[in-house]
C-alpha cells in the first residue's frame, strides 16, 4: 500500500484533487469569521465544502474550555479527543482550508504542528482556488466516518504565553512580528475588543499578514524570504502575534515556507497583552 506524504506545508488545488480519494487523507474546513460578523463557518461548511471535508471548530470545540482569552490552544488530551472524533489518526495526512483563501486555516496547521503532527498542510488559495479550478463541491449533512486514533505529542517550542514572552522581548536573538494592520500596531486605530489598549509591544515589528498574500494565495518563496529578511535575521527566533492568535499563524506558515526554523506563536496575542496591564505597551 502506498503511503501518502506531503513535503510542503502548502498544497495546491490540483494536488488535492489528485489525492482526494486517498484513504489516508483527511480534509478539514477551518472557516472562521471575526467576532461581530453575521457569517458562521459551520453553517457555510454545510452549504458548500470540498467533498468529504470535516468542520474543524478551533473557536469553541478544539479550544481550551477554561481560558480567559479566545480559542486558546487546548491541552494535548483534549486536542487528541476532538481530532479523533473527526476521524483523524496519528498516520493521517491532513489538509486544511478556509473559505476566504488564506485566513483561518493556518491556525489549524499550527495547532497540529504544536501537537507533534508533521503531516499537515494548508490548501493554497482555499475554497476559492478549489472552485476556480472547476472541482466538485459538496453540501448537506456529511457522511459518517470512523473514529480516529490520534496521539498528541506536544511541542512547547511552537507556543509561548505572555509571562514567558515579556522575559525575552528585548533579547537580540528574538524578534516579535505583529500580523495586525499597521494602524492598529501604531495605535492610530482603536482595538476592536473592549478594554484592550492600543499600540504594540516594545521592540516588536509590524508585518501585516496581507503583505504575505496575493489574491488569497501565499507569495512565492523568494518574495516571502525578502519580506522576512526585511524585518528579522535568519537565526533569530521569530515570535508571531496578532489580535487573538489566528492571523499570527499566517506569519508562522509563511516563515516556514521562507525557510525559517525557530517559529513560535504567542497564543493569547494582543487580546491578552493589551488587556493585561502588567505588560508594557508603546505606540
CA distance 200 to 187: 7
Closest CA to 32 of 104, 101, 110: 104
Q: Which three cell numbers stand for residue 54?
A: 470535516
Instruction: Please confirm, yes or no, whether 242 is among the known catalytic residues.
Output: yes
If one counts every other C-beta atom within 10 angstroms of the C-beta of residue 54, the result is 17
- Cβ contacts of residue 74 below 8 Å, gap of 6+? 62, 63, 64, 65, 82
Beta bridge partners of 94: 26, 120
CA distance 115 to 107: 13
Exposure string for 250-278, b = 16+ CB within 10 A, e = fewer: bbbbbbbbbebeebbbbbbbbbbbbbbee
Q: Which of 159, 242, 253, 254 is catalytic?
A: 242
By CB atoms closer than 10 A (0-12, 13-18, 19+), residue 144 is exposed
Question: Could you list the active site residues?
Answer: 242
Amino acid at each position: 500500500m502506498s503511503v501518502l506524504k506531503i513535503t510542503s506545508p502548502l498544497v495546491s488545488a490540483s494536488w488535492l484533487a489528485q489525492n482526494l480519494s486517498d484513504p489516508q487523507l483527511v480534509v478539514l474546513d477551518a472557516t472562521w469569521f471575526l467576532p461581530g460578523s453575521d457569517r458562521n463557518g459551520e453553517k457555510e461548511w454545510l452549504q458548500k465544502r470540498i467533498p468529504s471535508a470535516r468542520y474543524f471548530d478551533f473557536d469553541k470545540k478544539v479550544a481550551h474550555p477554561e481560558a480567559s482569552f479566545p480559542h486558546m490552544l487546548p491541552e494535548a488530551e483534549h486536542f487528541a479527543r476532538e481530532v479523533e472524533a473527526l476521524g483523524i489518526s496519528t498516520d493521517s495526512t491532513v489538509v486544511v482550508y478556509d473559505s476566504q483563501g488564506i485566513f483561518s486555516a493556518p491556525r489549524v496547521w499550527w495547532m497540529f504542528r504544536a501537537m507533534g503532527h508533521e503531516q499537515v498542510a494548508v490548501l493554497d488559495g482555499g475554497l476559492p482556488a478549489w472552485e476556480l479550478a472547476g472541482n466538485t463541491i459538496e453540501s448537506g449533512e456529511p457522511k459518517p466516518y470512523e473514529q480516529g486514533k490520534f496521539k498528541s505529542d506536544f511541542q512547547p517550542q511552537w507556543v509561548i504565553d505572555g509571562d514567558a514572552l515579556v522575559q525575552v522581548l528585548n533579547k537580540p536573538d528574538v524578534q516579535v512580528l505583529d500580523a495586525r494592520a499597521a494602524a492598529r500596531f501604531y495605535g492610530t486605530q482603536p482595538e476592536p475588543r473592549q478594554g484592550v489598549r492600543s499600540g504594540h509591544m516594545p521592540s516588536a515589528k509590524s508585518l501585516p499578514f496581507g503583505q504575505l498574500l496575493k489574491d488569497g494565495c501565499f507569495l512565492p518563496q523568494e518574495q516571502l524570504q525578502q519580506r522576512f529578511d526585511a524585518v528579522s535575521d535568519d537565526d533569530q527566533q521569530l515570535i508571531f502575534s496578532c489580535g487573538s492568535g489566528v492571523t499570527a499563524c499566517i506569519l508562522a506558515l509563511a516563515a516556514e515556507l521562507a525557510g525559517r526554523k525557530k517559529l513560535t506563536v504567542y497564543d493569547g496575542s494582543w487580546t491578552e497583552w493589551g488587556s493585561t496591564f502588567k505588560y508594557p505597551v508603546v505606540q
